[in-house]
Each structure stands twice: as structure tokens, then as C-alpha cells.
Amino acid sequence: MFLQCGKFRLSLERPLVMGVVNVTPDSFSDGGLFADTARAVAHARQLVEEGADILDIGGESTRPGAAPVSLEEERRRVLPVLEALAGGKIPVSVDTRKPGLMREAIAAGAAMVNDVTALSGAGALEAVAKTPVAVCLMHMQGEPGTMQSNPDYRDVVREVRDYLDGRVSAAVAAGIARERIVVDPGFGFGKTLEHNLALLSSLRELRLPGVALLVGLSRKAMLGKLTGREPKDRVHASVAAALAAVQNGAHIVRVHDVAATRDALTVWQAVKNQN
Ligand code: 7PJ
């Protein structure tokens, strides 16, 4: 199986690592846009050195309770970083829900659009359909501002699967080939720890025919709940979660700690190759 990602054709025979690049203002400096851009680009290059297969650039925090960012502010953050990184040796994804930014990012060389609202916004499918980019369709219950207040499911695995299946159908109907599509259960996006663990243990049921499966567990609150640790001290927990996900059928893991994840996957792959 392959993922067509702009001009890149990525084999899904081995797990891929997507490195997270956040472009948000540095609260410890007032160096302004130039400093924020330079810092994000340097970080991204570091992740490539560490063995990332894809970079994911985001300028709007979708963490629980986060405030929305205007299109103008988001493009000001994301586009300079994207322009500096597109044309490199690995594909660059843009993490956005805004169709206006999707279009500009694709024009600037993005090879993938990662949308936590699964291209459900007005004009989102149209913004990507007639382009060669890959799309990541993620499940979320509710809105980032309030989604963790009262997540509720009768059968979380089935409901997430049905939602993703429906969004894949919508994408295919809009002209997006299955080999361009990635689905993601959206860990922590309107889910309790129990919901997240149910999804992680039944990940294989979320594999849809011909479509790649991505998971983002890195440093998330569920790992804090399990270990009692702060985000920066969740590296070991994140690596364990990534391994569990790959073991259960994930093709791509979205992570902050690329070097640590890469090493763990190298060992996992060596053991797997024995069979
Ligand atoms: C995810 C994401 C995720 C996808 C974020 C964080 C919150 N995109 N963007 N999947 N999470 N596709 O990284 O903790 O899980 S932002």
C-alpha cells in the first residue's frame, strides 16, 4: 500500500513518523514573526535529521480549551515556515481547518492537508480535491473549546469508524482517490481516557480499505492521566503509545519526539522482520 502525498509516493509497508512543528508565538521572547519563523524552521530541520518521514506544520492550537486564531494570523505564522521547508526531501503537511489557508499552503508547496474537522467545513473538500495532495481526515466530537467537557458515546469504536467511513466516502465523491486519504480517530478530541484506550486497543477496526491510518498520541493528556507526568516528561509514555498503535495497525504516528520514536520503531521492525 502507498500514500500519494503531492509528488511523494510513500510506502506504508513500514510505519512512518510524522514530526510535529508548532508555529505559535514564543511566550519567552518578543523577537516577533521572524524569530518565531526561524525557530520553527530550525526545529523542523532537526526533526528531518532525526528521521521524520513527514512534517506537520500548525499555526492554530487545537488543544482542549484553546482559543481560535484568525485566518490572517494563521497564514502569517504558517506560510513563511512552509515556504522555507517545501522543496525539501520529505513532504510537508499543513494542520489547518481553514479552506483559505489550505489553498495558499498547497500553492506554497504543501503535500498534505491535515484537518481535525475532516474537511467538513464549507469549501474544504473543494480546496483540496483537484490537487495532488494527501488529506488527513480526523474524528472529533464537539469543538476544541468545549469538547472535553462531556464526551459521550454508546460505542466509541463503532461511532468513530462510521464517521471516518462517511468522510472517506465524501472525499472520494469529491474526486479524492483513496491512495490520497488518511484517517485518524483523533485521540483526546472529545474523548475520555476510557474512550481513548478503547480506540487504541481496537485500532485495527478503524483500518478502512485502501486508506492509511494515522494516530496522534504524543504527549497527550491521556498519557498524563496514566503516568501523572507533565507534557514535557511524557516522552517515554508517548513512545510506548506509538508502539502500541503501530502494533495495532497504525501506518503513521504523529509525534513530537522523532528520534526516540524512530529508535523504538527500528527495534520493533527488526523483531517483526524475524517472522
Ligand atoms: C492531532 C492533530 C491528532 C491529527 C493535533 C496535539 C494536539 N492532527 N493535531 N491528529 N492533534 N491528525 O498535538 O496534542 O491527534 S493538535
Ligand 1 atom closest to Cα of 63? 7
Q: How far is the CA of 142 from the centre of ligand 1 (A)?
A: 15
Q: How far is the CA of 215 from the centre of ligand 1 (A)?
A: 8
Count the Cβ atoms, other than its own, within 10 Å of residue 275: 4
Amino acid at the residue 38:
A
Q: Evaluate whether 52 touches 33 at the Cβ level (below 8 Å).
A: no
- pLDDT recorded at residue 202: 98
Residue 256, ligand 1, Cβ within 6 A = no
Residue 216, ligand 1, Cβ within 6 A = yes
Residue nearest to atom 14 of ligand 1 (CA): 220
Residue nearest to atom 7 of ligand 1 (CA): 63
Low-confidence ranges of the chain (pLDDT < 50): none
Q: Evaluate whether 113 touches 105 at the Cβ level (below 8 Å).
A: yes
Of 220, 225, 229, 232, the catalytic one is: 220
Residue 185, ligand 1, Cβ within 6 A = no
Alpha-carbon span 21 to 48, nearest angstrom: 11
Closest C-alpha to 57, from 132, 111, 125, 3 = 111
Ligand 1 atom closest to Cα of 217? 15
Mean pLDDT, the chain, as a whole number? Answer: 95
Alpha-carbon span 149 to 194, nearest angstrom: 15
Q: How far is the CA of 275 from the centre of ligand 1 (A)?
A: 33
Q: How far is the CA of 8 from the centre of ligand 1 (A)?
A: 22
For 57, the grid coordinates are 506544520
131 secondary structure, DSSP code:
S
Q: Is 220 tagged catalytic? A: yes
Q: Is 36 helix (H, G, I), strand (E, B) or coil?
A: helix
Alpha-carbon span 2 to 244, nearest angstrom: 22
Sequence-distant (6+) residues with CB within 8 A of 76 are 33, 59
Alpha-carbon span 7 to 151, nearest angstrom: 39
Residue that is written with C-alpha cell 464537539 in the block: 142
Is 167 exposed, middle or buried, given 0-12, 13-18 or 19+ CB atoms closer than 10 A?
Answer: buried
- pLDDT recorded at residue 16: 98
Instruction: With both helix axes pointing from N to C terminus, report the angle between 193-201 and 156-173 in degrees, rounded to the nearest 10.
Output: 70
